[in-house]
Amino acid sequence: MPERKSFKLVFVGLILAVVLSWSVFATRPDHNLHIYFLDVGQGDATLIRTPEGSDILIDGGPDETVLSEIGEILPFWDRKIELVILTHPDSDHLLGLVSVMERYAVDEIWKTGIDYQSSIYTEFLNLIDNQGIKSEDVWQGKQSIFDQQVDLEVLAPFDCLSGNKVKDTNSTSIVCRLDFKGESFLFTGDAPIKIEQEFLAQNVALKSTVLKVGHHGSRNSTSREFLEAVLPEIATISCGKDNRFNHPHKEVLDNLALVNSKVVRTDLAGRIEIIVSDGKLLLKSKTE
């Protein structure tokens, strides 16, 4: 009996080892770029997985929903996020990040550093200090390259805002553009039309394959002039189903139609995934 029991334990151990090895093998990086616009309701959260498996999280949405979204994407053994970007400290972008920081190891954080008073933002800053996370206040010109081929550049804010008190946090949003193998993604946070106008005045290179539409599709962002400079093939809108703001607004959808952008919305499609593979752009969602 003891020998039979020992044999069963060894057999079960071997099976578990095989399953674990297969899981790790099956979830290894596939050398493609994956961009996930997460389904977090009325908020913003975007997860980027680079070809070699680095993870970049832009905003975290309004609650802990981001955790289940990330958990369905990342392999169970991947508990590290290389870079977190907080575009601005409004709660619908920030709250989920606190939950992420409590459960994942974060290597680095980019933020604007504005003087913003809220209990959740204070908790966010305390977590940075307590966990010894590298943190940087960024503005136009900040650039980082991942896997020697994924170029992430900050386009706004236009100047250092560290310690500044502001009336409109949306106007301080970190706007960044990612380039990979001829395809580009523009992430706009909640940047309003006046920031878009400043981009145009500065002749900032905006043309991008994919646009994360500003401010959940609010009419306060995504002007026709801005879209004519970006000319996105695909426009993603992060908003909650039947939200009280009626996002996205008709004016924005009309503007997107004028530049022939394919519109995909998280309130209708759920989580949206865009893959750059072998020079091709692949779009996946519940409606595709």
User: What order of strands is seen across the sheet that includes strand 55-58?
Assistant: 134-137, 105-111, 80-85, 55-58, 46-49, 33-37, 272-277, 280-284
Q: Which segments within 15-58 are labelled E, that is strand?
A: 33-37, 46-49, 55-58
Residue 4: the pLDDT is 56
| Helix spans in 115-192 (H) | 119-131
Report the DSSP pairing between strands 272-277 and 33-37: antiparallel
Q: Which fold has domain 30-284?
A: Metallo-beta-lactamase; Chain A (3.60.15)
Q: How confident is the model at residue 14 (pLDDT cuts 50, 70, 90)?
A: very low
Tell me the Cα Rg of the chain: 20
Residue 260: the pLDDT is 97
Task: Tell me the pLDDT tens digit for each residue of 121-155.
Answer: 999 999 999 999 999 999 999 999 999 999 999 99
Q: What is the phi/psi pair of residue 37, to 5°?
A: -95, 105
Assessment of whether the complete model's pTM goes beyond 0.85: yes
Q: How confident is the model at residue 54 (pLDDT cuts 50, 70, 90)?
A: very high
Task: Tell me the pLDDT tens digit for each residue of 229-266.
Answer: 999 999 999 999 999 999 999 999 999 999 999 999 99
Residue 29: the pLDDT is 75
Residue 108: the pLDDT is 98
Residue 23 predicted with pLDDT over 70: no
Distance from C-alpha of 159 to C-alpha of 114, rounded to nearest angstrom: 12
Average pLDDT over every residue of 165-192: 97
Residue 18: the pLDDT is 35
Task: Tell me the pLDDT tens digit for each residue of 180-212.
Answer: 999 999 999 999 999 999 999 999 999 999 999
Residue 62: the pLDDT is 97
Q: Where are the domains of the chain?
A: 30-284
Task: Tell me the pLDDT tens digit for each residue of 84-102.
Answer: 999 999 999 999 999 999 9
Cα torsion at 279, 280, 281, 283 (round to 10°)? -150
